[in-house]
Structures are given as C-alpha cells and as structure tokens.
C-alpha cells in the first residue's frame, strides 16, 4: 500500500512466488473518524500534529517524528526562529497583502513550498496526490520525494497546468536507476526542476524509528530501507557533470549548511538555479545548524550569493511568523515537510489545506507589509 508500483519491477529478480490475493489490512481509521475534533478547531501545526498522532500507526509516527540522535537539531530548527525578534513599523497601510511570488520564474500563490516528504501513504491513503490537491487551492509549490509512495506521473496527473512541481533526486549507487527516473521526470512538463539532495548522504541514526522497528521485530527501520542503495560518494564536479548529461531542467541543491558551500554552489550558476538551506529536518546529522543560522551566515559573509541563485530554506517552520522572518532575512521561499504530512494524516486533503491556512493566513502575513 505504501510503495510505488514500480518497486516490484525493480526487484523482479528477487521474486519468490505469488501471494494470495487479498485486501491488505488497513492501518487507517475511516475517513470520517480521522480526527476526533473538526479540522476547523485545530488552530496551529502543534494541534494538527497531535491529532495526526492519534490516528496513524506507530511505524508511521516513528518514521516522521524521528530525528537523528538526541533530536537537538530538530528542536533547534524551531527554537532558532523564536530567538529572532521583529522590528515592526507603524503607520503603514495594511489593507492588502499580496502573497504571490515567482520561484525559478514560475508564479506561485505563496512563498511556500512543500519539501519532499517520503512515503506519504504511511499516513493517509491519498499519499502525495492528497498533498498535491491540498496545495492546489493555494497555488503552492510541491516537491515530490524521490521515495514517494506514488510515481510522479500519478502525483501530477490531475493537477491543473498552472500547478508547479519539483522532483527530489537521491542519486543511487546503480546510476541506471537514477538515469531512468530522470528520463521519466524529463517528460513531465509540470515538474519544472530537479532538487538534488545533499544533506543526507547516509541515513541518520533515528532512534524513534529504530526502536519501533525493534519492538515490531521488523527486518529494518523505514529509514534504513529507504536509504538502501543511495550513493554516499557525491562530489561537486563529478556529480553535477553527470546530472547535466541527464536533464535539462533547472537544478536546485538541497542541504546547504554553511556559507562556504553556498559560495561553491553559486559558482555553478546558471546550471544551478537555487539552493535550499536545510539540515534535513534534523534527521541526518544531529547538532547541524538550523537553516536560519545558515541564512544569517550568508547575509554576513557572502550576500552576493542572493544575486546569483535563489535561496530557499526549510526546517522548523511551525508558525507563519517563522516564515516571515526567513523571508525578511533574504530567503525567496520557505518549505515545510513534517507539517504537510501531519495535515495529510490528520484529515487528508482538507488537513493539508488546514495546515497551510494556519501558517499563511492574511492576519499573520500582514507582518510582511509591516516589515518591508
């Protein structure tokens, strides 16, 4: 239920035989019982996460909630925004607040994107298509995960032509697999760019995920399974040269965590169109810096990078004010990962919409007007 159909084709040589055809046991509540309270009563991401936690399986919770080691980076991602204060100006006309912007030359309704979040069907049967539908009414950008539960063709199939997608790439040790996926993505016009993920060369030690795996006597945690076959030997010159041979779509590098690497990335413009400052949601290397700290580094040591590539951030966004702070510091867009999944798990498409609504209501975003 949670893996894309082509997974079986990729491991055809390992087939042992047929299993008895039957409906797989559902780990989900009935749609009308997804939440114990109406979605309209959930006012923020914390409440949406709490509602989702009540209805998803332990395995799904362990995969999404978990982060590396002591989860210091995960929690610091959010705490860092709390330590930054606004400097509001007064006597500013706040009757209107235009949230639309252009990302990589494409018009979107919000300076917000949904970061690649793998295995969305762990939380809800609609999976990545549910997230796509939830983004639609806000014209929000969605990056489809390399380890999506559904193939990219299915995720974009019912989206209107104006809806914008990116696609995440984890380079595989078997490069033919990655090249085959890139060929498929190249044929999808609604996928406008490829996001090469660099902040997780190997799976982090995600103890919540591993603990549930041990308790269930499973063969491996979800994280371990997903990272099997990922190539940890990527380098600037070799990998980007290889990638340039297999796609003409713009490239975004996700996982920049120092200003030095941001400078290096900018040297590959215009092939590299953007960078995402990210520590993989604290899921890869614990005590890695939160994205907003890296953003401050760029402002101080290499502000010219903002003129060469688009700078996006993700990780730790729990309030609309968090997103506003990142934008005020120079980010072109802000991403959410877990919050989109919690919304999907709590209420399907409507849950995703509720998550976006709670983060990006006009009452919160009026701060943009006050601070510009």
- Residue by residue, what is the 3-state secondary structure of the chain? CCCCCHHHHHCHHHCCCCCCCCCCCCCCCCHHHCCCCCHHHCCCHHHHHHHHHHHCCHHHHHHHHCCECCCHHHHHHHHHHHCCCCCCCCCCCCCCCCCCEEECCEEECCCEEECCCCCHHHCCCCHHHHHHHHHHCCCCEEEECCCCCCCHHHHHCCCCCCCCEEEEECCECCHHHHHHHHHHHHCCCCEEEEEEECCCCCCCCEHHHHHHHHHCCCCCCHHHHHHCCECCCCCHHHHHHHHHCCCCCCEEEEEECCHHHHHHHHCCCCCEEEEEECCHHHCCCCCCCCHHHHHHHHHHHCCCHHHHCEEEEECCCCCHHHHHHHHHCCCCEEEECHHHHHHHHHHHHHHHHHHHHHHCCHHHHHHHHHCC
362 carries a ligand binding annotation: no
Determine whether the annotation assigns residue 184 to a binding site. no
Known binding residue 166? Answer is: no
- 246, 259, 280, 293: which one is catalytic? 280
Q: Consult the annotation and say whether 251 binds a ligand.
A: no
157 annotated as belonging to a binding site for a ligand: no
Whether 273 has a binding-site annotation, put simply, is no
118 annotated to bind ligand:
yes
| Residue 280 designated active-site | yes
Is 203 among the annotated ligand-binding positions?
A: no
343 is in an annotated binding site: no
Asked whether residue 355 is marked as a ligand-binding residue, the answer is no
314 is in an annotated binding site: yes
- Annotated binding-site residues for glyoxylate read 63, 170, 206, 280, 283
Please report, in range form, the residues annotated as the binding site.
Answer: 63, 116-118, 168, 170, 197, 206, 254, 278, 280, 283, 314-318, 337-338
Active site residues: 280
Residues at the binding site for FMN are 116-118, 168, 197, 254, 278, 314-318, 337-338
């Amino acid at each position: 239920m949670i893996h894309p159909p082509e997974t079986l084709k990729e491991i055809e040589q390992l087939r042992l035989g047929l299993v008895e055809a039957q409906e797989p046991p559902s780990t989900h509540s009935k749609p009308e019982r997804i939440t114990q309270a109406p979605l309209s009563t959930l006012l923020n991401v914390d409440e949406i996460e709490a509602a989702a936690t009540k209805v998803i399986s332990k395995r799904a919770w362990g995969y999404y909630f978990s982060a590396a080691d002591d989860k210091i980076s995960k929690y610091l991602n959010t705490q860092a925004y709390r330590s930054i204060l606004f400097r509001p100006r007064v006597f500013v006309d706040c009757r209107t607040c235009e949230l639309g912007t252009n990302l990589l030359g494409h018009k979107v309704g919000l300076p917000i994107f949904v970061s690649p979040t793998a295995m969305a069907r762990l939380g809800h049967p609609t999976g990545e298509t549910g997230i796509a539908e939830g983004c639609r009414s806000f014209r929000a950008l969605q990056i489809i995960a390399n380890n999506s539960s559904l193939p990219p063709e299915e995720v974009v199939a019912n989206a209107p032509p104006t809806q914008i997608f990116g696609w995440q790439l984890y380079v595989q040790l078997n490069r033919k697999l990655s090249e085959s996926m890139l060929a498929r993505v190249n044929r999808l016009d609604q996928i406008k760019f490829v996001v090469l993920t660099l902040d997780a060369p190997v799976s982090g030690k995600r103890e919540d995920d591993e603990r549930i795996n041990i308790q269930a006597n499973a063969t491996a945690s979800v994280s371990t399974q997903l990272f099997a076959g990922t190539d940890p030997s990527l380098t600037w010159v070799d990998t980007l040269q290889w990638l340039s041979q297999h796609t003409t779509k713009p490239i975004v590098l996700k996982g920049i965590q120092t200003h030095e690497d941001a400078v290096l990335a900018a040297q590959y413009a215009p092939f590299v169109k953007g960078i995402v400052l990210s520590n993989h949601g604290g899921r890869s290397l614990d005590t890695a810096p939160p994205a907003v700290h890296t953003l401050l580094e760029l402002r101080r040591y290499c502000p010219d990078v903002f003129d060469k590539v688009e700078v996006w951030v993700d990780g730790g966004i729990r309030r609309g004010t968090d997103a506003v702070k990142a934008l005020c510091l120079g980010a072109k867009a802000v991403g959410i990962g877990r919050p989109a999944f919690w919304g999907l798990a709590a209420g399907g498409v409507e849950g995703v919409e509720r998550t976006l609504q709670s983060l990006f209501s006009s009452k919160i975003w009026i701060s943009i007007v006050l601070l510009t």
